[in-house]
Structure 1
């Protein structure tokens, strides 16, 4: 019974839509010539990212560029990456993952570490893209790959071309997920 009622209803709706489109379709000379502000500022394609980027207001932030050393190598400018967030007290931190969860228990068992260390490592690893994105903005085509080491002493290792200066840094997360926790970062360039 439902199929019998639905089919005529669908036909009526489609016919009405077709009639609406036919009745409102005008020849190009009958079309209104007004152009909205959005259309005029974005050209013919409102989804053109280059045009959209040019229309964004300048918020006063400088583009994150790496430092070029005297010998022509690339060095990360940590001032564009640092968050100015206060480091959290990990002893009293309210982790977003329960310490008695299966994920924490399994991680602790796999790496032979305490549940507390496992909980910390899981949250830090899940928050790591925040820091990685900022590094990629500076490294551009000098980036090769990255890895997160597992266990109690986890860190983000970023593999780069040989033109990048080896470095280490401690990144403090600003995002609510992991806010105040620290991610050790190592920039590891390829050997020549």
Structure 2
């Protein structure tokens, strides 16, 4: 009991000590973007000023996987797969596939967003269920497009996600 005031003072002093909670990193070493991503990736612009995504920076050379024999990283009999299947009234196999696609989707989204700078991106949606699709809504000056993206990262390698670029009207 007699040490309570001392304990309170020590806690207060520790709370004021920024070195206990913050690293001393020079501001030149801080970065908010991935240094491996080239910053000069630009979309294509046609004569009318419409913007088209440069798919050479998006699409991969990865071959499409056979979903019948694919070794999914999520167990088919897992509770998460069963709950997803029940929620969207699909088979466990479709749910397993959709869950992996959903978890891998940031791979393609980041490649597209690299080209939709300067306020061209509005929002995106990943549809749920058996037939997943990534729908990206853009400003009206971006050309509508639709393509299939084949994942190249280890997680989801070879699986396909349909992508739709949809300008807002």
TM-score normalised by structure 2 residue count: 0.77
Structure-1 separation of matches of 2:27 and 2:64:
40
Instruction: Give the number of aligned pairs.
Output: 141
**Bigger RCO (CA 8 Å, 6+ sep):** 2
Q: Greater helix percent: which structure?
A: 1
Q: Secondary structure at the match of 2:114?
A: helix
Deviation >3 Å, runs of 4+: none
Tell me, which stretches of 5 or more residues in structure 2 are unaligned? 1-24
Residue 30 (structure 2) pairs with residue 47 (structure 1): no
Residue 62 (structure 2) pairs with residue 95 (structure 1): no
Query: What is the Cα deviation at residue 47 of structure 1?
Result: 3.2
The equivalent residue for 1:170 is 148
> How large is the Cα RMSD of the aligned pairs?
2.2
Counterpart selection for 2:130 from 152, 156, 163: 152
Q: How does 1:14-25 map to 2 (within 5 A)?
A: none
Query: What is the Cα deviation at residue 105 of structure 1?
Result: 0.5
Larger radius of gyration: 1
Residue 164 (structure 2) pairs with residue 186 (structure 1): yes
Tell me, which stretches of 5 or more residues in structure 1 are unaligned? 1-44
